[in-house]
Structure 1
Amino acid sequence: MQPRSSGRAASGLVELRAAVREQPPEKPVADEFTATVRVDAEPGDKKFQGVWLERDDGVRWVVAYRPEPWLAAFEGQRVQVTGAVYQPEGQAILAPHFRVETLRLAPGATTDAPFVAVLAERRLAGTFQERVGGPGTKLEGERYLVFEADDGTAYLLANAPAGGDSGRAATVKARVIEMSPYVARRGGPYLWVLDVEPGRASPSRDGRP
């Protein structure tokens, strides 16, 4: 069992090691499990401010080196997670690494975050487009941005990605998210854009790189 450590202690784990060739997941986690999301209180060595999954048995896996907003929104919450442990490439901290496939608020848990689940990462080709709220709606005349994928699906944006200018054709790396039923919102699927690439590229069959 790996002992628990504070955010400051976790930051102290930062030791650079020689670059290694990335290997397939060493111990795939096929079944969903429950953990608590922890975020280091402040940056430590090498500006590392980790996001961790802390399992009920005390094992801690690092899932991000910075408090990325789509992960930090679940800080302190119990979540259900799928994914796999993996060997990182290049410089990395000396701690077990875990790649999140999906993350969902656990039954009975509550949060003030506007979303309750984050689905698998994918690449989508399409165009950013500005739209206007229709006549007679509560949002009449209000302008908002969507990402219209090449398959015709129009995704509302849960964040404001750099490079997401109206009329721009691009390929995005993104995650579909499920919004909280207690938050006022427009109807339709929502997308959290992680990165915007110029131009278009053909995504793989399952939408991943």
Structure 2
Amino acid sequence: MRNFENAVEKVRIGKAAAELVASGALFLTPGTTVETTATAIAERRPAGLQVVTNSTVAAAILERCPGISIHLTGGIWLANNRALGGPAAVETVEKYRCDLAITNIGAIDAAGCLLEYRDEEVVVARAMLRNARQKVLLADHTKFSRVATFKLGHLRDVTTLVTDRAPIRATAMLLHEARCRMVLAERT
């Protein structure tokens, strides 16, 4: 696994998110917090799970589980995240309807907009959210104070936020108004 900021918090978030995964079909986007979720899913060794992902890292983590079927999207190589993106990846995602999508995010602004740093990743994540029944957003506490350029969506577009700390009151109000359930990852 790559080195990343807030590693302890992201592992806790990943474990909490993995608890939301049952058999069925799952979208996974690239990113370090999703990678910790893939690790926690692999440790649980679920049977009958289909994973559709554009993250080669998540696919490599999950490959050790014979009960998981992995589908890679194809697309343009995005070396920074060891992922696949662009129109070909979106086209593949549009062929699926999954029970759950799990994504992380670069930033959440004061208005509740979900922001990322690369458009090639955003278009794929947006397609995954559009084609999932339940949408889970993973965000450690630092994401609430960052800015980024490309808009993935809004807090109202996700059903569950998994985070390591309760957000400030204004963000908590946005979550309430969006009817987005918050799961606080347990401290170990």
Give the TM-score normalised by structure 2. 0.25
- Structure 1 or 2, whichever has the larger Rg, is 1
Which structure has the highest helix share of the two?
Answer: 2
State the TM-score, normalized to the length of structure 1: 0.24
Which of the two has greater strand per residue?
A: 1
Higher relative contact order (CA 8 A, sep 6+): 2
